[in-house]
Amino acid sequence: MPFLPAQPAPPHFIHRLLNVPADACCAPETTPFLAAPAPAPRRAKLAELDSNLHCSVIGTCLTTGELRKLVPRHAAQLDRKTASDLDIHHTAVELSMQGEAAAKELHKALDTRHALAIKRFKPADQEGLAQLWADALAQGDVPGAYWALLTHPLCSHALRRQAFGDVHMLSHLVGASNRADLRRLNALEEECARLREQNAALQTRAQEQAAQHQQAVEVVSQQAMELTRLRERHAGLAHASAADQLAQLRDLIAARDEQLAQHSARSADLAARLAASDAAAELTRNAARQLGADAEQARVEVQALEQALLQTLDNDDDSATLPSLHGRRVMYVGGRPQSNQLLARLVAAAGGELLTHDGGIEDRKGMLASLLPRADMVVFPVDCISHNAMHVTRQLAARAGIPCHPVRNAGIASFVELMQREVTQLQRA
């Protein structure tokens, strides 16, 4: 909606005055800058400014949110929610040039928003005004400085023209490079307005809660006063029977102390029982896990032994029931003599040799150090060997670089399962 000019004027006068080419996007059909009047003893009103300046003042010094709240109150044809920003701007420019109540309200809004800048510009002379304007441009603080400069009593015609030109070019630069920033700014302004409304609602709610709290305090105070009066009223009667009540209280406390001691002892006993029960349950779980592992290992060993027996039954001759050892020597430490003899026959049938040592029961421990380096593999049953012999066997095997394998027990099934597993892995490797 184009705004009406305050006075008729030749087109594009501003561009001839600023010595720049005409631009259709910013060439208002308004009057040229008038000659600068004599310094007035007061600041200029918005409606008193040259009509060429109103568009830049409204567009630069007031936000779209502020205009959207203010302008529709004086323009019934505009809808606050559906009107475009351009319609709001054009209407605000028209109202600012009419000099009526709307222009006064716009002027007041500008003074309120830029009060600090007006105060900063107020004591300056013409040279100081030019320097303050240059500083504002350098710092990017244009809106407040622009309004304070244009309405200052000592602002010259040349300085107004310079400021108008600076804002004009700045609007082009900002429009070209910061459109996204303007959109974000509008969004932030709307968010700010929404937060202000929320803050007002929260303040109202806080006031209501404060009033409710005050009412609650008053009620409690009245109840406390009533309780005090009741205590004073019954003080005389209570004093007479204070000794009897004290004795009764002491008896009651003693009885309660005795009950508390009994409950404490019972609680300590229950806690001890619970701890013992937890410990027993943990031992039971550990034993169950160990039994499960032993059962699984026994199942594997029995399966290996059954497989070995089936192989033996399938062979017509007394051939090996173990994988072929190809001359490997197996050192067996510990175990039982009868089982060891059968193990020696199984190993021999598989093409190997079993070297045995009882772990120091009858055989000298020194023989273990001399026999072990001859072996390719060391095996010992954990249930039929002393801890000392087990430790010495591990050390000697590690020192000689010979694989050392513990088995679950001294039975034949454990040895057969180990040999099938380890020899098969060696053959695959």
For residue range 181-225, what is the model confidence (pLDDT) as tens digits? 667 777 888 888 899 989 999 999 889 998 998 988 989 888 988
Instruction: Examine the pLDDT at 74 and tell me if it is beyond 90.
Output: no
Q: State mean pLDDT over 67-90.
A: 83
pTM score, whole prediction: 0.36
Asked which of 112-121, 132-141, 290-299, 308-317 is least confident by mean pLDDT, the reply is 308-317
Rounded distance, CA 28 to CA 31, Å? 9
pLDDT score recorded for residue 34:
47
Backbone phi, psi, residue 381, to 5°: -85, 130
Cβ atoms 42, 59 nearer than 8 A: no
Q: What is the pLDDT of residues 312-361, one digit of tens each?
A: 545 555 455 678 888 899 999 988 888 888 889 989 988 999 999 887 76
Q: Does the structure show a pLDDT above 50 at 1?
A: no
Q: How many residues in the chain?
A: 429
Q: What's the whole-number mean pLDDT along residues 261-282? A: 87
Q: Please state, rounded to an integer, the average pLDDT across all residues of the chain.
A: 80
Q: Which of 149-153, 195-199, 235-239 has the lowest mean pLDDT?
A: 235-239
Q: Using the 8-state DSSP alphabet, how is residue 8 labeled?
A: -
Residue 49 CB partners (closer than 8 Å, separation 6+): 57, 150, 151
Partner residues linked to 354 by β-bridges: 330
The CB-side HSE value for 110 (13 A sphere, CA atoms) comes to 31
pLDDT over threshold 90, residue 94 = no
CATH architecture entry for 287-429: 3-Layer(aba) Sandwich (3.40)
Note the pLDDT of residue 355: 92
CA 255 to chain centre: 55
Domain boundaries, the chain: 13-177, 287-429
Please list, in sequence order, all residues whose beta carbon lies within 8 angstroms of the beta carbon of residue 56, skipping any fewer than 6 positions away.
146, 164, 167, 168, 171
Tell me how far apart the alpha carbons of residues 50 and 43 are, in angstroms, rounded to a whole number. 14
